[in-house]
């Protein structure tokens, strides 16, 4: 099973970016598990990371990323 960290800013607004994020989760292949990594809680040791719409993350949050990362915009 591939574990993919998902970094996105928390928001109460629903717009195009949030709809795209929902589509990403649905489109994830069966062998992938999407792991939420909200600000302050980025999990190290995952197979890959997807970064979407992030402005609330600190340098310390991003320093734990120890695998390939893709900025999804």
Task: Identify whether the C-beta of residue 32 lies closer than 8 Å to the C-beta of residue 1.
Answer: yes
* pTM for this model (two decimals): 0.82
- Cα angle vertex 28, ends 58, 61, to 5°? 10
Report pLDDT for 17: 67
Mean pLDDT, residues 8-15: 76
Q: What is the 8-class DSSP label of residue 49? A: E
Report pLDDT for 3: 96
- Cα angle vertex 28, ends 7, 17, to 5°? 50
* Confidence check: pLDDT of 43 > 80: yes
């Amino acid at each position: 099973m591939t574990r993919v960290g998902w970094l996105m800013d928390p928001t109460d607004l629903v717009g195009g970016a949030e709809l795209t994020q929902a589509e990403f989760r649905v489109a994830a292949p069966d062998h992938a598990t999407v792991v939420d990594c909200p600000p302050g809680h980025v999990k190290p040791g995952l197979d890959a990371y997807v970064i979407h719409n992030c402005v609330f993350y600190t340098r310390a949050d991003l320093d734990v990323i120890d695998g390939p990362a893709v900025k999804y915009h």
